[in-house]
Each structure stands twice: as C-alpha cells, then as structure tokens.
Amino acid sequence: MLDLAVFVKYDWSMEYLKYYKIKLAGYICALTVIFSLVISCGGGGSSDSAKITLEFWQFWTDPDAKATVTSLIEDFQSRNPDTEVNVTDLTWGEGHSKIVVAFSSGNPPDIIELGSDWIPEFSNRGALYDISGFTADIRDKHIMWDPGIFGGKYYAVPWLLDTRVIFYNIDLMNRAGVSFEDATVSWDEFLFACQKVNGLGKDIAGFGANSFEKHRLYKKFLPFLWSAGGEVIDRMGESSLDSPEALSAFEYYLNLVKYGAIDTQSNLDQRFISGKLGFNFSGGWLLKNIHNNNPELNFGVITVPTPDGEMGISFAGGEYLALSSRCAHPEAAARFIKFLADPENTARLCETVGFGFPSTKQLPDDPFYTENRNRMLFHEQLLNSRMPPAHEDWVYIEEVIEKMVERGMYRKGEPAELLKQAETEISKILNR
C-alpha cells in the first residue's frame, strides 16, 4: 500500500539536523522582529516633564469631523502651551463597550464624550468627576444641563445637541391630495395625512414606525406621550403610565402605525430618502443623508403634533463632555471641555458634520442655520424638547416602555391593559 521501505531506508539524520538549524534561525528572527516592533511602539512619547497630558476619548471620527476636532484641539494647545491633548477615537457601534471596559478596569481616560442617555448611569455610580466648581461661570451660557446633574452636582457639560422632528415628503402628499398649512399640526390632521399617503400604493408607506430596536424605540414613543400631557414618572417619583393622557397617546401612536410601515431606523431613513415613505420621525442626521444621497427630494419638516395643534414636545439627545473621577488634572481638563463646548467652537463642528446645535438658546448667527428653514425649525423644536428622567435604572424602565409599545404594535394586548402592566413593572423598578 505505501512504499514504506524507501521511506525508512533513507538516512534522515543529516536532514534532521539541517532542518533544526534552519527552524531555530527562523524562530530567532521572528522573535526579534516581534520584540523590536513591540519596543519601538512602546517607547514612543518622550515628553517634557512640565507638560500636562490629557487623554480624550471621542466619537467624531469621520475625516471631516476629525479634522475639525483636531484643529479645535490645536487652538486649545496654542492657548495653553503647558497642556497636551491626546485623542483616542471611538466608533458609534462599539465605543460604549470600550468605555465600559476601561472604566471597569480602573483605567478611564481623563476626558470623555458621552451620549446624553449614558451620563446618568456613569454619574450615579461615581464614575465621573464633580465639575460644579469649574462650571459656575458658564451655567447661563448653555442649556440642557439636566442629564449632567445628579444629586445637585454637575458632572457633564452639554456639547452638541440634536432633536427629532417629522420629515414629510411633499410630492407624496400632493399625490394624496393633502397638505399642511404650517409647521405645527394637530393629531387629527397628521393621522389623516398618514392615512391618505399610506393608501397611495403597495410600495408607498405613510407613517414610518420604528421597529423594535433596543434603546431607540422609546425615543419615538415618549414625544407622543409628553405631547399629550403624560409622564413616565410623576413629580412624586411614582410610575404614572396608567393615565388617561398616556392611554390617548398610546392609542394614537398605534393608529399611526396602522397607516404606515414598521422598519428599522436606518431602513426608514432610506425609504424616506428614496421617496417611498410619507412621514419619518428622525433626527438632524437625515438632513445630511438626504443632501448626500438624494438632494432633489422635495421634503419639509413639522414639529411633533399635539391633540390641539400646538408645537409638541420632542426627544432631545446630545453629546456631553465629562471628566472621569480618576482624572489627574481636573482643572486643565475642565478648561479643555469648556473650550470645546464653547458655542462658537461647537458651531464649527456642527457645520462640518452637517447637523446638530450648540447648547444655547440663541441660534448662532450663521448662514448654515439662518438660511435653512428646516434647520431653524429643528432649533425651535429643540427648545421644546426633553430628555428622559436621569434615573440610574432608566435603562430598565425604557425596556419596559419599549416592550409595551412593541406588544401594542403587534396587537398582543389592549392598550389600557398594556399600560397598566407597564406601570406595575416600572413601580417595581422604582422601588428596588
């Protein structure tokens, strides 16, 4: 079967030795290469001993945004020659995980950019530095401090804010024979428009309803709840979902879903961009995506509808700057975040990323804002927006809300029943 005889007879001993020498040489080479690489990269930064180095982790990493952040940092360094800022870039997808790993291992950066909905979970656990003392002079300059406040102390400075409005497709509305008189509409008006546009054909949908995406769906439902006068947690700190206001909001939301399509945020945005979705409740990023992918799209924006046609309350989100509780140079770090969050500097960043606002009441006097009606309406809505209550167990509460909305959308229960169940579950979380 196998010609083993030849195999065995051959004198392998010389081969054996030769082979080992070559192998050994190979190993040594490989190890040398690896070690030299390790060493060359390990001992890179030789710095002046007098200089303070600040570690800054941030998310603005696409080339345009990164260039702006870099130039802002250079401005700061030229004004503060004794301070050096070292940037680490984070992705929107897994950045949160990296932050969690670093904090949990006692190795956090000095300065960190946090989404507004992440701050409470960090500040309530003592992971952030109390910057009340450093921010007294800019309290009046900025708006929307709330998510950064815990126990009366300040933990984060608002940097770049955004909100959500309803985008509508003008061409589809014309085809359906409906129109909005101005940018504030009533519940009935809006529902009627959704119904009409949804009836245009199989590939056209009216209202774009977010499917179950954890940590996103609640941001779409709460504005309707707030605009109807409902609350998740009342002033006494009790769960208050089982109220007539909440019931009317929930029933209205489910009616909208009936005249629309359920899909993920990214798919809804795309369907809107390609002109196949009538109404999309989305954020400032959509302005930029429309501009990049279908600049010809004939669209407008309205604020969140209310029962009687006032401007409703939307959901605000934003990026905040905070110091970790282990920050070694809090004073220099605070100087840096105050510089970055300065409205003029933030406006520069907003312009390069194509959306967002500095955290001020006054819209910056800049054609980027003043010559774009949609953007100005965004700002009006921003001033009429809220963030979720800064509760340390909010992430559990939002899960209850999202499951409730989802069950309603898939008709797995009566709205009143679902609200009652959700209220009970939230009470349990609040009283833990």
Residue ranges in 106-135 that form contacts with another protein under rule CB under 8 A: 106-107, 121-122, 125-127
Please tell me whether residue 80 binds another protein under the rule CB under 8 A. no
Answer positive or negative: Cα dihedral of 141, 144, 150, 156: negative
Cα 63–Cα 64–Cα 68 angle in degrees, nearest 5 = 110
Give min distance, CB of 187 to another protein, in A: 24
Backbone torsion region of residue 215, taken as left when φ is above 0, otherwise alpha when ψ lies between -120 and 50, otherwise beta: left
Cα–Cα dist 404/417, whole Å:
10
Pick the binder of another protein from 98, 139, 361, 373 (CB under 8 A): 98
Positions in 329-358 near another protein (CB under 8 A): 353
CB 176 within 8 A of CB 277: no
Report phi then psi at 261, rounded to 5: -125, 145
Pairing of the two strands 52-58 and 83-89: parallel
The binding track of 130-169 with respect to another protein, each residue x by CB under 8 A or -, is ----------------------------------------
Pick the binder of another protein from 24, 25, 28, 37 (CB under 8 A): 37
Positions in 42-61 near another protein (CB under 8 A): 42, 44, 59, 61
Please tell me whether residue 101 binds another protein under the rule CB under 8 A. yes
Positions in 197-236 near another protein (CB under 8 A): 202-203, 211-215
Pick the binder of another protein from 24, 28, 29, 38 (CB under 8 A): 38
The binding track of 389-408 with respect to another protein, each residue x by CB under 8 A or -, is ------xx---------xx-
Cα–Cα dist 405/152, whole Å:
33
Cα–Cα dist 311/320, whole Å:
26
Positions in 7-36 near another protein (CB under 8 A): 7-8, 12-13, 15-16, 19, 23, 30, 34
**Count of positions on this chain that bind another protein (CB under 8 A):** 78
Pick the binder of another protein from 292, 298, 370, 424 (CB under 8 A): 292
Give min distance, CB of 88 to another protein, in A: 4
| Burial of residue 274 (number of CB atoms within 10 Å: 0-12, 13-18, 19+) | exposed
Answer positive or negative: Cα dihedral of 248, 199, 282, 117: positive
Both tokens of 95, joined, read: 């950045």
Report phi then psi at 292, rounded to 5: -80, -35
Pick the binder of another protein from 47, 179, 293, 372 (CB under 8 A): 293
Give min distance, CB of 143 to another protein, in A: 21
